[in-house]
């Protein structure tokens, strides 16, 4: 029976990390993975990170054009309980703020 494991990530980088872990570590097929902002608009997560954060001098000026308009949801369709268990572990290890199984 097919299940969908979902996680909600406050930082885009964490969402990207779980996708790479699913694809490289568990050989999940990319069409089985959905990445989407929680809200209706585009979002890079709830928290500034990476290139959105001002870094130490000498550096470029800090950017303020990154959209922080809600968390990033990642969902992965799985076919069996063993894979579901692995995917849930990967979602938890990548700092999901919420997790659900459908």
Could you tell me the domains of the chain?
3-48+70-101 (3.30.70)
Across the beta sheet with 3-9, what order do the strands follow? 33-37, 72-78, 3-9, 98-101
pLDDT in tens, 6-38: 998 888 788 889 999 999 988 888 899 998 888
Tell me the Ramachandran region of residue 8: left when phi exceeds 0, alpha when psi lies from -120 to 50, beta otherwise.
Answer: beta
On whether the pTM is more than 0.75, the answer is no
More confident residue, 74 or 46: 74
């Amino acid at each position: 029976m097919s299940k969908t494991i979902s996680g909600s990530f406050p930082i885009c980088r964490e969402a990207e990390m779980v996708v790479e872990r699913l694809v490289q570590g568990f050989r999940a097929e990319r069409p089985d993975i959905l990445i989407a902002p929680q809200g209706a608009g585009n979002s890079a997560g709830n928290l500034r990170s990476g290139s959105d954060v001002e870094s130490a001098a000498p550096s470029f000026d800090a950017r303020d054009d990154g959209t922080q308009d809600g968390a990033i949801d990642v969902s992965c369709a799985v076919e069996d309980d063993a894979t579901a268990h692995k995917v849930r572990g990967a979602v938890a290890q990548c700092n999901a703020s919420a997790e659900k199984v459908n």
